[in-house]
Structure 1
Amino acid sequence: MSGKNIDNLVSMANQIGDFFAPMKDHRKSMDEIAGHLKRSWDPRMRTALMNHVEQHDGEGLRPIVLEAVRTHKMI
């Protein structure tokens, strides 16, 4: 996936994180972020995001999004 495309995925993932991060229960926030990605994103998008996390340490992702992706294995 090109750099521009991964930048778009990172941006979209961060928007999802921004929506769920204010929840009082951190674990529930991560579950909701991961659940949204699993339900709403095409498998190719999730794979590209996971590759970005593995190859570039999730550069640009908000900490809660990165934690959710690593914890829930989005593929």
Structure 2
Amino acid sequence: MNIDQLVTMANQIGSFFKSYPDQGKAKEEIANHLTKFWAPPMRNQIKEHVSKNAGKGLEVIVIDAIQKHL
């Protein structure tokens, strides 16, 4: 899948959970959602994007969720 599409989708997920009062829990839930609903190649691609491109285009909360929980 195109990385730009994955970034958009991940940011949409992040936007939903960003409203949680507990930001630590929000990050866990973002990662849980990616684990449950994204195919392994999609998760691997977004993790690689964070690793190699500093998560360019991703919201900070999404980057943190990926780095800490995926």
The TM-score, its normalising length taken from structure 2, stands at 0.97
Shift of 1:44: 0.2
In structure 1, distance between residues paired with 2:31 and 2:44: 13
- Count of matched residue pairs: 70
2:64 counterpart residue number: 67
Q: Sequence identity, in percent?
A: 49
Deviating runs (4+, > 2 A) in structure 1?
A: none
**Is it true that 1:57 corresponds to 2:47 in the alignment?**
no
Task: In structure 2, list runs of 5 or more residues that go unmatched.
Answer: none
Partner of 2:28: 31
Report the alpha carbon displacement of residue 8 of structure 1 after superposing the two structures with TM.
0.2
In structure 1, runs of 5+ residues without a counterpart are none
Amino acid corresponding to residue 14 of structure 2 in structure 1: G
